[in-house]
A = this chain, B = another copy of it.
Amino acid sequence: MSRVAQPHVIVDEASPGNAHVDPTRGASTCAVCPAWEMSLCAILRGCVSEADRPASGALPMSTVHTVPARRTIFHPKEWSEFVPVICSGWSVSSIALPDGRRQILSFLLPGDAVCTAFLFGPLSGRHVEAVTEVTYRKFKRSDLRALLFENRDLFDRISKIWIDERVQADQLALDLGRRTASERIARQILNLAERLAKRGMMSGQTMEFPLRQRHIADATGLTPVHVSKVLGEFQRARLIEISSRSLTIINEAELRIAADWR
């Protein structure tokens, strides 16, 4: 039936020779990762004792993979001994019904763990799919587990990620169960803007916006047609502007009101 995706493996760690390389990140592509400070990667780097670090300065225990746009990264029933973390690109994590209905649970941005469930078991139950071309880094679960027990600080930081994810899940249920279409869409936009801003990926009020309306529909529990109508209204009301795969928030105050934010 469904072919299991074969990501193109690119064992990287070639120095990019970039001018703005941060030496504490090692000589890997991480040096230019927009989300370095907030990612598992940074946490882990802090945990590995100097002695254990590869001489290359690369992140330990990980390999980098590349997946082209629209390709599946993980199948819901796929077993994995690795914990993947997004390095670049946008992807989407979802579950689906046999009849095709589908719910997107989160949009994954650089620095996000693809699925923290992989920290604890080999099975995520979720479908993960690249929106743009995506690169990600795989840590071996057994390595992480070993670190986790040695290192109480690592444990605390991962607990924090884990709790955040649960707060997100709670909010998602509230949004889907109790908010209107416009509220849901407005909050998705604001939420993405906030997350991108944290990663330095906003230019002013403008963000790259590779999502199709079908993604927004599946994330908000709506129909693509309805999403189109609501986005149309938002644009006509000059709250936002979308063109050539980028989105600008024109009237943030009003958009927040539409989103019933905070």
Contacts and interface: CB of A to CB of B under 8 A. Distances in A.
A45 interface: no
Contacts of A160: 120-121
A48 interface: no
Contacts of A95: 170-171, 173-174
B178 A120 contact: no
A120 B174 contact: no
Interface of A: 95, 97, 101-103, 105, 117, 120-121, 125-126, 149, 152, 155, 159-160, 162-163, 165-167, 169-174, 176-179, 220-221, 260
A148 B120 CA distance: 14
Which secondary structure dominates where chain A touches chain B?
A: helix
Copy number in the complex reads 2
B105 A170 contact: yes
A172 B174 contact: no
Contacts of A171: 95
A25 to B, nearest CB: 28
Contacts of A174: 95, 97, 101, 103
Given A149-B152, A169-B173, A221 B178 contact: yes
